[in-house]
Amino acid sequence: MLSEAGSDLAMGSQSAKRRDATGPSRPFRRVLPYVEIGALVVALVLPFALGDRTDLVTLATNILILSMLAISFDLCWGLAGIMSFGQALFFGVAGYAIALVGRDLDFSDLWATLPLAMLVGFCLAALFAAFLLMGRKTPSIIFVAFGTLTGSYAAERLVSGWQYVGAGNGLSSVKLLKLGAYEFVEGDAFYFLALGLLLLVYLGARYFKQSQLGLVLAGMRQNEERLAFFGYRVQLFKAVLFSFAGMVAGLGGALYSYHQGFIGPGNMGPGLSTTAVVYCLLGGSGTLIGPIFGTAIVEGLSYALSDIAAIQHIWPVVLGFVLLVVVMFQPRGIVGLLVSDRERIGSYGRRRSDG
Amino acid sequence: MRLGAVTMGDEVKLAFDLLAFISVMVLIVLGLGIIASMMGIFNFAHGEFVLLGAYTVYIFQSSGWSGWAGILAAPVVLAVVGLVLERLVIRRFYAAPIIAMLGTYAIGLIIRESVRALLGGQYESIDEPLSGVFTLLGFNFSVWRCVIVLTTICIIAATWLFLSRTSLGLQVRGALENPNLARACGISTSKLYSMTFAFGAALAGLAGALIVPLYQLSADIGTRFLVQAFLSVMLGGVGTFEGPVLGAAAVGGMAAGLPWIVIPVLADPLVFVIALAIVKLRPQGFITQGRL
């Protein structure tokens, strides 16, 4: 079963081969680092440019937090080839966990709650991976997709009927995130905290992607069986990446819960999970920077258009059309317009010094 | 003696409720299973096809026609919708089942939210064309639920006869078994796929039209069954006719029966866990060989 990402990969390696065959090639121009640095610079100056528009800073912080969810999905689909329709599950459960720690233990110190959220996301994802991915028989990609979808759906139903966690109303007035005596409220400080954490997540994911592990994953996306015949334990690699993605989603969920001061059943359901899919595919899956762009575009447009009642009503329809158009005509996403296939797929391990 | 009669009545009532719910599930799963088996596409828009069937009945009722006209029209409308969608969109996704999921999800989102906007977020109740109850051996049965059970049995029988006894059914089975060989024998698989998708959509439309009097019409009438329906297809096994029907019976039976045993909040997730565990142990489904 050749995935879309896999067929792209095949295309990329073919074009690289053609280049080699035509003799000495032009020096390979890399675009992606400039895109990444540009995005970082924009993100750094944004709060100063926005000045006193606090609503926009809040929106930007929200985008950074949701970007973690989008990156978490990209790790599953773009890198490991796992279609996860339940990425919001880890996001939501971690958000609930820190909200409950705040409510019942009256504790919200950054140095402990954020690692706790990551641990919750990691363990839950590892549990899912153990059930869905591991085992004697190789599970079909469809089974994994439905397994994650079902998990997310079941969790949403379970939580909306459970009084202890607030049932359908969710948990509101979540305790503020603290560092020592300092409390993070919405605003510049929270923005830079989210940006710093997103940067760490991004660098970690980027390291994963470009390491030898990333090369194995790329091979798996192209032909899983062949890699298995080489002796790689394919499902184990997938499980590792899935757990890491769950950890990232958990971190995002905790920040979301602290930032919004609210977490509800809808934050772990298939609705948010598929929104993460839209973020990632619109931006360009497998590029890591793409999902961030996708999140910014979707959330930014949604905010800009929310004043117009007519459009707000049909906004989900617009999202549906966007997803359909992307899937049908531009599966490489927006980043695919800027960056060549060869660069989008990337190079692995250490680069030769002679280039 | 008296106590015995009461529990006896409860058991008959439970059995009838189970049967009615299983029929609803089978009705919904049948179209989904046929499309998944034939084309390898898990249609995320299936719930919205059910919704469109229900919505057709609503349109007919609100413009003064009888409910029966709506029920007859729903499969036709959905067959046309399915045919158009297959020609324009679904056709591109045959080689990539995961991309097909995303594409059909997008279609479903568009349909669902459009209908939600049209309904204005309201719940509309639809009258049963045959209302009331009839009494048999001292037990009361809802007439409309009986109609649903009987229709389901008729549709299963008709579909089975079509697949196993007609020459077109033979072509369908051939295309399912080995599409390349079927094409080499001069069977137009592309035409067959179009027809299959339209047929599956029509079944969904009929299901929506039949069940909407039981549940109120809202934009989410189809999606509430979708996850159960997918699990049914996986449980029964893709690639057979009986598989999804049996899977739907199992999942429907569990979904309707478990709330009597455990607390309702846990019943739903428990159904999913049991179904997933069975699929994990038997990935090929209940039935491994197409036996038609």
Residues of chain A numbered 275-294 and touching chain B (CB < 8 Å)? 277, 281
**In which residue are the tokens 């409860």 written?**
B10
- Chain A residue with CA closest to B237: the answer is A143
Q: What whole-number distance in Å separates Cα of residue B207 and Cα of residue B229?
A: 13
Q: Tell me if residue A182 falls in helix, strand or coil.
A: strand
Write out residues 149-188 of A within 8 Å (CB-CB) of B: 149-151, 153-155, 157-158, 161-162
Q: What is the mean pLDDT of residues A116-129?
A: 94
Per-residue pLDDT for A326 more than 70? yes
Q: What is the rounded CA–CA span in Å between residue B263 and residue B77?
A: 40
Look at residue A22 and tell me whether its pLDDT is greater than 50: no
Mean pLDDT of chain A, nearest integer = 83
Distances (CA, A) of A167 to A159, A301, B265: 6, 31, 11
Alpha carbons within 13 A on the beta-carbon side of A38? 7
* pLDDT greater than 60 at residue A277: yes
Residue B77 has pLDDT above 90, yes or no: yes
pLDDT, tens digit, for every residue of B175-204?
887 888 888 888 888 888 898 899 999 999
Residue A216 neighbours by CB under 8 Å, 6+ apart: A227, A232, A237
Max mean pLDDT among A10-24, B103-117, B241-255 falls in B103-117
Of A2, A145, A328, the CB nearest to B92: A328
Model confidence at A15, pLDDT cuts 50, 70, 90, reads very low
Q: Which of A158, A277, A323 sits opposite B265 (nearest CB)?
A: A158
Q: Write out pLDDT tens, residues A180-211.
A: 778 788 888 889 999 999 999 999 998 888 88
CB atoms within 10 A of CB A11: 13
Q: How confident is the model at residue A1 (pLDDT cuts 50, 70, 90)?
A: very low
3-class DSSP state of A262: strand
Average pLDDT score, chain B:
83
Q: Chain A: give the shortest CA distance to residue B266, in Å.
A: 7
Q: Confidence band (pLDDT; 50, 70, 90) for A336? A: confident
Min distance A51 CA to chain B CA atoms (Å): 37
pTM, rounded to two decimals = 0.85
| Band of pLDDT at residue A25, cut at 50, 70 and 90 | low
pLDDT, residue B51, reads 92
- For residue A155, list chain B residues with Cβ-Cβ distance below 8 A: 269
Give tens-digit pLDDT for A88-108.
Answer: 999 999 999 999 988 888 888
- In this structure, which amino acid lies at residue B239? G
Contact list in A for residue B269 (CB cut-off 8 A) is 154-155, 157-158
C-alpha angle A274/A275/A280, rounded to 5°?
Answer: 95
| B278 token code pair | 């069975």
pLDDT for B173 equals 82
Cα(B83)–Cα(A317) distance, integer angstroms: 21
Over residues A242-257, the pLDDT tens digits come to 999 999 999 999 999 9
Whether pLDDT at A171 is above 90: no
DSSP letter for each residue of A195-243: HHHHHHHHHHHHHHHHSHHHHHHHHHHH-HHHHHHTT--HHHHHHHHHH
Report the residue from B98, B109, B273 with minimal CB separation from A320: B109
pLDDT value for A353: 52
pLDDT band at B1 (very low <50, low <70, confident <90, very high): very low
Phi, psi (rounded to 5 degrees) for B150? -65, -45
Higher pLDDT, B258 or B157: B157
In whole angstroms, give the CA distance from residue B129 to residue B67.
6
Indicate the range of A8-12, A27-31, A99-103 predicted with least confidence. Answer: A8-12
pLDDT band, very low/low/confident/very high, at B287 (cuts 50, 70, 90): low
Find all residues with CB under 8 Å of B229, minimum gap 6, and list them.
B25, B28, B29, B32, B46, B47, B248
Residue type, A260: Q
pLDDT in tens, B226-241: 888 888 888 887 777 7
Q: What are the angstrom distances between the C-alpha of B81 and each of A76, B47, B201?
A: 34, 14, 8
Candidates B107, B116, B283; nearest CB to A324: B107
What's the pLDDT at A4? 42
Contact B98 A149 (CB under 8 A): no
Q: Nearest residue of B to residue A309 by CA position?
A: B117
Q: Letter for the amino acid at A120?
A: V
CA distances A148 to A144, A324, B46, B104, Å, are 6, 22, 19, 18
